[in-house]
Homo-oligomer: A and B are copies of this chain.
């Protein structure tokens, strides 16, 4: 399964239309390229539909709350053409505006995947969270003790939203209404670099765009690759005595060089 998803992505070279925040937009574009895709970061209302039509997937990142109208036009076009839509509800719960924006987007289109940290997904599922800024609140973080509870929340939300749900954190959860996987790859340093969440979301655009009929599998492979690359990148960073930016460089590097063999060897997944 992993080899199929991976090799199809390399072969298709999916064009990924990203309407994403400008803090991490460069990292997201480079991450799509590292996955074998071709990124196009087009925000203007007047071309949102044209660009979406020529793309294979649409990535919406709510770090850009100002581009909602372009997101809706691109989203409707993508739904009409059966292109996967991936949404990252960045910082939802941190302001009223972001709660309203997510509701408006979700009423306007059908998402294939919703990916966020535990505070963000909790804010969507339960309408409440302890979020300040854009990082997950300590209290919301996935730990061994609360896995079952969070997996249940993910499955219920998946059933309600008809979307695959991904919750990123020390342990990642990838779930639809029936099945859920835990991915125990990655490294804590990923939280010390801005945009690792956004980059994960952009990668989903590549893997799901190339595998539109296998969204759960595409989402799982994408999540595993991010985690495994994080581990490989940390090992190199440590060997070089580097800090957070050396790690960021190696993270995208490792995605650009990863192979199905390495993924199989390093991945730690479990169905729950």
Q: Which residues of A contact B (CB under 8 A)?
A: 15, 17, 21-27, 29-30, 33-34, 38-44, 46-47, 50-51, 54-55, 63, 65-66, 91, 94-98, 132-135, 192-195, 242-246, 248-257
Contacts and interface: CB of A to CB of B under 8 A. Distances in A.
Contact of A65 (B39, B44, B63): B44
A216 to B, nearest CB: 26
Contacts of A94: 40, 42, 47, 50-51, 54
A27 B26 contact: yes
Given A25-B23, A26-B23, A29-B23, A54 B133 contact: yes
A98 to B, nearest CB: 7
Contact of A91 (B30, B40, B132): B40
24 contacts: A22-B22, A22-B25, A23-B26, A24-B26, A26-B27, A26-B194, A29-B195, A33-B193, A34-B244, A40-B91, A40-B94, A40-B134, A42-B94, A46-B97, A47-B96, A47-B98, A50-B97, A242-B249, A243-B253, A243-B254, A244-B252, A244-B256, A245-B251, A246-B253
A40 B95 CA distance: 12
Contacts of A42: 91, 94-95
B257 A252 contact: no
B248 A246 contact: no
A168 B106 CA distance: 41
Nearest to A194: B29
A97 B26 contact: no
A132 B55 contact: yes
A252 B247 CA distance: 11
Contacts of A51: 94-95
A39 B133 contact: yes
A244 B248 contact: no
B26 A195 contact: yes
Given A133-B54, A245-B249, A252-B243, A97 B44 contact: yes
B132 A54 contact: yes
A108 to B, nearest CB: 18
A214 to B, nearest CB: 22
A139 B37 CA distance: 18
Contacts of A253: 242-246
A244 to B, nearest CB: 4
Of A39, A244, A257, the most chain B CB neighbours within 10 A belong to: A244
Contacts of A41: 21, 23, 63
